[in-house]
Amino acid sequence: MSSAKNQKWVYMVAALLVGAGVGYLIVSGLSQNSMYFLNVSEALAMPADKLTQARLFGSVSEEGLVKDEQSLGVDFYVLDKDNPLDAIYVQYRGAVPDTFKPGVEVILEGAFMEGGRDFKATTLLTKCPSKYEKNDQGQMRPPGYSS
């Protein structure tokens, strides 16, 4: 009988340790991978100490757009969609998408540099313009398609 009691305690302790381990992995995974998804005006309004890793979205400004001819990359200002006077300077080093140009909407992943006004992007994604248009019934069709 004492052998059965000992086995119950062993199983309870093992279950408790497994549960604590899984809980720790979930909490640590969520805290390490959490990232703000902000537009430009929200990023400018946040305290600089809260801005570490972030996803930032806005549109590319014509002013200040400099492509790095020596290596892959681009420096530019990203503007807020609703308030184009709000801008953040972005440095990106890597392959620039073909659809990248002034006025296009972008999503950037990276980190804010000291002061929170400059952003060092590690990922640059452009929002593709729609290749489809609505017909009279509101259905999406390729341009020039007739039914």
Map out the domains of the chain as residue ranges. Answer: 1-31, 35-126
- Confidence at residue 107, expressed as pLDDT on a 0 to 100 scale: 92
Residue of 46 and 102 predicted with greater confidence: 102
**Contacts for 146 with CB less than 8 Å, ≥ 6 apart:** none
- Say yes or no to pLDDT of 143 above 60: no
Instruction: Tell me the average pLDDT across 11-36.
Output: 78
Residue of 145 and 70 predicted with greater confidence: 70
Per-residue pLDDT band for 60 (boundaries 50, 70, 90) equals very high
- Say yes or no to pLDDT of 114 above 80: no
Per-residue pLDDT band for 111 (boundaries 50, 70, 90) equals confident
- Confidence at residue 83, expressed as pLDDT on a 0 to 100 scale: 86
Q: What is the DSSP string of 91-129?
A: EE-SPPPTT--TT-EEEEEEEEPTTSSEEEEEEEEEPPP
Q: How far apart are CA 128 and CA 11, in angstroms?
A: 55
Specify the CATH number of the domain 35-126. Answer: 2.40.50.140
Q: How far apart are CA 45 and CA 88, in angstroms?
A: 12
